[in-house]
Amino acid sequence: MSSTPDPDVAGQAPRRRTFAVISHPDAGKSTLTEALALHAHAIAEAGSVHGKGTRRGVVSDWLDMEQARGISITSAVLQLKVDDVVINLLDTPGHADFSEDTYRVLSAVDCAVMLLDAAKGLEPQTLKLFEACRVRGTPVITVINKWDRPGQEPLALLDEIADRLGIRPTPLNWPVGIAGDFRGVIDSDTGGMTQFSRTPGGATLAGRERIDAQEAAHRHGPDWQTAVEELELLTSSGQTHDHDEFLAARSTPVLFTAAVLNFGVAELLETVKQLAPRPQPWTDVDGQPRLVDAPFSGFVFKVQTGMDRSHRDRVAFMRVCSGRFERGMVLAHAATGRPFQTKYAQSVFGRERETIDEAYPGDVVGLVNAHALHVGDTLHDGPAVRYPPLPRFAPEHFAVVRSRDTSRTKQFRRGIDMLDQEGVVQVLVSDRRGAQAPVLAAVGPMQFDVATHRLEQEFGAQTLLEPLGYGLARRTTTAATPVIDGKQGAEVLRRTDGTLVALFTNKWRMSTVASELPEGSLLPMFGAD
């Protein structure tokens, strides 16, 4: 396979827009995803992709547990083609317990859409995910959804964004009609109005009529006047879109939608097309950028097993960072230096799969049965490159796991290794506890349910889970380990990546122990308070 830069890449990469939606559960992420697919003509009718209750769910029904609980644990990738632009929408699990998973997905995107419920504004999970974007400097587009239902004042919502997130909201359009009476939007560029009209059940595209300011004033009277005045207020205080500020993640363009009615969704799609950043050079572990038209490189941001019920296979999701990916390429696996065959490359969206023949920077490739690949691994062609490992979150829940049946110890061990490699849970061990009783560590307790469910289903290993009374974790040093281990309500374990993790029952316990340790013995973990 050639390792010289492909001139085609220079043309293809700037056509990509790769983003994820960050939101609190119920803000309307699935509905919006579906509406975007409808607008990009990827589906014929809304209601065919996202599934709750009895509806067929492409996104979220791979695991019985997900179906039973109506939550989405898996992340999938939806690719939409809009004119000459290729949009990659990476799905993220909505539940807070899977925020580590979501963070990994966010590490693979160039932009995020922050979706808010107009009545609720910023919610805890939105804040947490926004913070993950801030850490990475990811530009964020804000969408205020459910404008067809009673909600807060639009100016109050913008103030909340500015005050609590410290980012300048710059409306690209402004709603005509209060929340609950969504008539349309003023386009802040032209000053004209796009008036929306409903279609039965919101299953097909909404009616959109462009009218000038005079006609809008005639049709909408005081509602139009209020909208104009509010927008003018923002414009005069400088809350207008500045592309450099947006790319630097200091400002966030704001749009208003009613995803369930498909109102404002065409505007969002157009915004993503026009404003979302193009794939940029990706920075390697040494801080060196790899140009997008350099030879192929990509990294695995997610490994998932059991997406296909009949095969229970393992898919490694790789974000292309540079060059052209061609199915069949033999790549180098940076972690081991071994060759990696890409015969079975696919695009994966929930259960839907297609063979993928080529991909460009910004695209996501699903590598099927890629048993050698772990989360964070780099694959490349040509000159060697290694991208930074993905940080592990600070776990807050801990439990000892044991196999109920000693005759299945081997399967149990294999299962634990796999869950660890996939990042389903963190696995901690110590000589004191022994290899047969590893400690599972999780950001949220539902991760334990997934882990035990999979040990049982995929490895035939029935388990016993014994919760430990610890509530927080810090990285620590070899020198501090014996001191901590000698204390009550504290213990040191080793994560499989070699990190020493000190566990404490609570903050007070931790500070008492810390007072007996040299400075710098307890180090914060990513995502900790």
Q: How far is the CB of 149 from ligand G4P (least distance, A)?
A: 4
Specify the residue, 94 or 279, whose C-beta has the smaller distance to ligand G4P: 94
Query: How many residues bind to ligand G4P according to rule CB under 6 A?
Result: 19
Specify the residue, 47 or 192, whose C-beta has the smaller distance to ligand G4P: 47
Say which DSSP state 121 is in.
B
Under rule CB under 6 A, residue 269 binds ligand G4P: no
Under rule CB under 6 A, residue 143 binds ligand G4P: no
Q: How far is the CB of 103 from ligand G4P (least distance, A)?
A: 18
Distances (CA, A) of 317 to 59, 124, 322, 372, 443: 15, 28, 15, 13, 22
Under rule CB under 6 A, residue 152 binds ligand G4P: no
Contact between 223 and 176 under an 8 Å Cβ cutoff? The reply is yes
Give the rounded distance of the alpha carbon of 173 from its chain centre: 26
Torsion-angle region of 463 (φ positive above 0: left; ψ -120 to 50: alpha; else: beta):
beta
What Rg, from alpha-carbon coordinates, does the chain have? 24
| Strand residues in 335-374 grouped as ranges (E) | 339-341, 345-349, 352-355, 358-359, 364-368
Distances (CA, A) of 403 to 25, 266, 306: 34, 52, 21
Structure tokens, 74? 């898996």
Extract the annotated binding site for GTP: 91-95
Under rule CB under 6 A, residue 258 binds ligand G4P: yes
Q: Which of 75, 99, 125, 145 binds ligand G4P (CB under 6 A)?
A: 145
Under rule CB under 6 A, residue 129 binds ligand G4P: no
DSSP 375-412: TT-EEESSS---PPPPPPBPP-EEEEEEES-GGGHHHH
Q: How far is the CB of 28 from ligand G4P (least distance, A)?
A: 3
The SS3 of residue 42 is coil
d(CA 176, CA 220): 8
Site for ligand G4P in 15-34 (CB under 6 A): 23, 25-31
Under rule CB under 6 A, residue 319 binds ligand G4P: no
Specify the residue, 134 or 149, whose C-beta has the smaller distance to ligand G4P: 149
Torsion-angle region of 376 (φ positive above 0: left; ψ -120 to 50: alpha; else: beta):
left
Site for ligand G4P in 41-60 (CB under 6 A): 50, 52-53
Under rule CB under 6 A, residue 183 binds ligand G4P: no
Specify the residue, 92 or 305, whose C-beta has the smaller distance to ligand G4P: 92
Contact between 479 and 327 under an 8 Å Cβ cutoff? The reply is no
Under rule CB under 6 A, residue 148 binds ligand G4P: yes
Extract the annotated binding site: 91-95
Per-residue binder mask for ligand G4P (CB under 6 A), 385-414, x = binder: ------------------------------
Under rule CB under 6 A, residue 267 binds ligand G4P: no
CB atoms within 10 A of CB 466: 11
Q: Which of 5, 57, 93, 94 binds ligand G4P (CB under 6 A)?
A: 94
Under rule CB under 6 A, residue 66 binds ligand G4P: no
Interface residue list for ligand G4P (CB under 6 A): 23, 25-31, 50, 52-53, 94, 145-146, 148-149, 258-260
